[in-house]
Amino acid sequence: MKASLTFHKLMVGLLVIYLLIPLVGTLLFSIAGKWDHTILPESYTMKWYIELFQDERFYDAFRRTLFLIVMSVGLSVVIMLPTIFIITVYFSKWEGFLQAAAMLPYGIPPIVGAVGLIKVYSDGPIQIAGTPWILIGAYFITILPFMYQGIRNSLRTVNAVQLVDAAELLGATKFQAFRTVVFPNIISGILVSTLLSVALLFSEFAFANLLVGGRFETIQIYLADKLNSSGHLTSAIVITYYSMILLLTGTVLKLSFRKEKNPVVSNKNRILSLFKKQYRHKNTALEGEK
């Protein structure tokens, strides 16, 4: 018992180290002055960050990336949530079709997709090739599998169909049922896939480069450009956007736990109780005292 616990801790520890080393390396490099023949840098400096934060291009790129992400993820939630809800609840026959459609993007490499998109949208009725709009469209498709899975699983987990049945029998319309009993229960599940999508799009390069490139410089294109000038600076960029994602994740998680007293308290408790279950054998004494 004891030995296996130590073993587990060791494995988890090793995994964490394995995952963190590149990040720590990047962090060190971004604040390193001179670092040639030693394990740790010989001197430290903040000048790369200062340089980065004084660069207007960085802010612009950041803003553009944010715009793209908010637009595509927002669009995805607004379109996919009702679609998946309606299909799972009322047209379950079509679910397989929707699932297949949502998985298609996995099958198409970005380069092929990009070339096709440029071809289709460079003439004809919708000429948006080279504009951010085509990128938003492509991003919508990129995150489709995540959003689809996330939303569908959330609906399944809370047994949305039955909740709607129950609400309807109690006099709610279908829309009221969705708003009052389905939505509040799936929101935290959807936030997770939203976050995943945001993180994914933050580091998207292929589509951005091929579809709009320098005409609408995103953070990744800016990063690629700076890669040629200084490794220290690129490290600083990477660390900066990692911190941004971390901050974002933290905020959203915190929000999802607090917003309104009721549903979220219960969500929090549910998640906490999951953790508790795993550690029950350890703190039975504590539980007994309650």
Partner 1 sequence: MSYVTIDQVTKGYENQVVLNNISITLKKGEFATLLGQSGCGKSTLLRSIAGLEGVDAGRILIDGIDITNLSPRQREVGMVFQSYALFPNMSVFDNIAYGLKMKKVKNIKSRVKKIIEMVDLIGKEESYPHQLSGGQQQRVALARALVMEPKVLLLDEPLSALDAKIRKSLQKELKRIQKELDITTIFVTHDQEEAMTMSDRIFVMNNGQVVQSGSPSEVYTSPVNTFVAKFIGNYNVYDMEVFRKIVRNRELKGTEVAIRPEVLQLVSVGEDSLDLQENWGIKGFIKDVSMTGNVLRYEVETEESAFHVDYLHHRGKMFEQGALVHILVPKKECIIL
Nearer to partner 1, 176 or 240 (CB): 176
Residue 172 contacts residue 133 (beta carbons within 8 Å): no
Nearer to partner 1, 151 or 223 (CB): 151
Binding-site member from 185, 197, 218, 234 for partner 1 (CB under 8 A)? 185
What angle in degrees, to the nearest 10, is found between the helix axes of 56-90 and 132-142? Answer: 50
User: In a 3-state reduction of DSSP, which class is residue 228?
Assistant: coil
What is the C-alpha separation between 218 and 207, in angstroms, rounded? 11
Residues 265-284, interacting with partner 1 (CB under 8 A): 265-266, 269-270, 273
Draw the binding track, 38-57, toward partner 1 (x: CB under 8 A; -: no contact).
--------------------
Asked whether position 159 contacts partner 1 by CB under 8 A, the answer is: yes
Q: Which stretch binds partner 1 (CB under 8 A): 6-14, 28-36, 174-182, 242-250?
A: 174-182
List C-alpha distances in Å: 16 to 5, 11, 68, 105, 200.
16, 9, 32, 31, 21
Nearer to partner 1, 235 or 267 (CB): 267
Residue 253 contacts residue 261 (beta carbons within 8 Å): no
Q: How many residues bind partner 1 (CB under 8 A)?
A: 25
Asked whether position 230 contacts partner 1 by CB under 8 A, the answer is: no
Residue 139 contacts residue 238 (beta carbons within 8 Å): no
Nearer to partner 1, 244 or 268 (CB): 268
List C-alpha distances in Å: 230 to 38, 164, 225, 233, 237.
20, 57, 10, 5, 11
Q: Which stretch binds partner 1 (CB under 8 A): 9-17, 79-87, 181-189, 222-230?
A: 181-189
CA atoms within 13 A on the CB side of 199: 16
Binding-site member from 41, 130, 231, 263 for partner 1 (CB under 8 A)? 263
Binding-site member from 28, 66, 128, 158 for partner 1 (CB under 8 A)? 158
Please name the amino acid found at residue 110: P
Nearer to partner 1, 159 or 283 (CB): 159
Mapped to the 3 state alphabet, what secondary structure does 33-70 carry? CCCCCCCCCCCECCHHHHHHHCCHHHHHHHHHHHHHHH
Asked whether position 167 contacts partner 1 by CB under 8 A, the answer is: yes
Residue 182 contacts residue 158 (beta carbons within 8 Å): yes
Binding-site member from 50, 170, 227, 272 for partner 1 (CB under 8 A)? 170
Binding-site member from 165, 227, 272, 279 for partner 1 (CB under 8 A)? 165
Rounded to 5, what percent of the chain is helix, strand, coil? Answer: 80, 0, 20
- Shortest distance (Å) from residue 166 CB to partner 1: 4
Residues that bind partner 1 (CB under 8 A): 158-159, 162-163, 165-173, 176, 180-181, 184-185, 262-263, 265-266, 269-270, 273
